[in-house]
Structure 1
């Protein structure tokens, strides 16, 4: 069974950490083989190195002429490592169509809203501005349409009267840390 995954991250790496912890506990059968970050100061880089991930890279988008060339470099790293699944964990770049076509139905993302509501970069803020009473997170397959691929799992949280961006986002992230490793585990076992 090929259980190798590549994780693409841009930020502090909290979802990566949750995945690695689930793997260490035996709750997720994945092997995090590759971590690629597009920001040199991403916390995910240190988390991956500390956990002993075999291939950890900062790939600078500024070293490439355009998104296609950057994505091609990332794609080559992922293919060379023979990763079965690509997991976006706080990855704040829109993938090129060619990258998505290279790994059809094998790229997943977690988004901090109950899709199809509140697509885009500020889903938590959008939910608060709209005044919804329930929010949550969604794991979905990545397609060329932003945050619009088939939904694999969702988890809900109440939106409290006293919530601000930070408090709501923190509660949503707790749900993310539960459902993302579960979805990854099921995808690997079912393939």
Structure 2
């Protein structure tokens, strides 16, 4: 996957606003990746406008136009392979992927989830963290496998839950962290710094025994 003279071609899959897509676009000039394609399963979303403004090719594949989840995923595979995409980044893509799709891009696809996995897979993570009385919350960036929100976790970033926090304030805290962490991990994968081996994460040549902590990484780089 590492390319010495050229940046790694990647694609971003979206379903809506595309704020994480924008973070990836903003970081692209200093990264090892080149966004070749943005696919949305919904037409007329802001994320498509973000991509077009950056001069990135876009494609709308409306999932409602396909007879089955399998047919939709095969159409995406065809589009991504046609662009010789090496890495796929899920950025608010609100579709459950088939095993055929996840297998095709195994070790080459990332997702970002707004909880400290394995806590709170699925939806409504901020509300669930508040209802549980948790003292901290956060995000997880993980490799995508056939198991929903269950692939090996690469990096986590944490926030303290304050007494006056609400779903909305937690969402804003997590969004800020997402925009800092997702381009970083995408760059690692594009550069070959990060790989998936036997369902384990290898980072800088070492197998991880626990997810990387974003706070520790940023502290080391100061």
Question: What does 1:1-191 align with in structure 2 at a 5 Å threshold?
Answer: 1=3, 3-24=8-29, 26=30, 28-53=31-56, 55-190=57-192
SS at match of 1:178: helix
Q: Secondary structure at the match of 2:35?
A: strand
Question: Which 5+ residue runs of structure 2 have no aligned equivalent?
Answer: 194-222
Contiguous gaps of at least 5 residues in structure 1: none
In structure 2, relative to structure 1, the CA distance for the partners of 1:33 and 1:127 (3 Å cut) is same
- Rounded Cα–Cα distance in structure 1 between residues aligned with 2:16 and 2:126: 16
| TM-score of the pair, normalised by structure 1 | 0.95
Q: Which runs of 4+ in 1 moved over 4 A?
A: none
- 1:62-117 deviation line (CA, Å, top 9, x unaligned): 11111000011111110000111000001111101111111111111000011110
CA distance in 1 between partners of 2:171 and 2:188 (Å): 25
Q: Give RMSD over aligned pairs.
A: 1.1
Secondary structure in 2 matching 1:116: coil
8 Å Cα contact 2:99-2:146 kept in structure 1: yes
Larger Rg belongs to: 2
Partner SS, residue 168 of structure 1: helix
CA distance in 2, matches of 1:129, 1:93: 26
TM superposition shift of 1:41: 2.8
Q: Number of paired residues?
A: 188
Determine helix, strand or coil for the equivalent of 2:158. Answer: strand
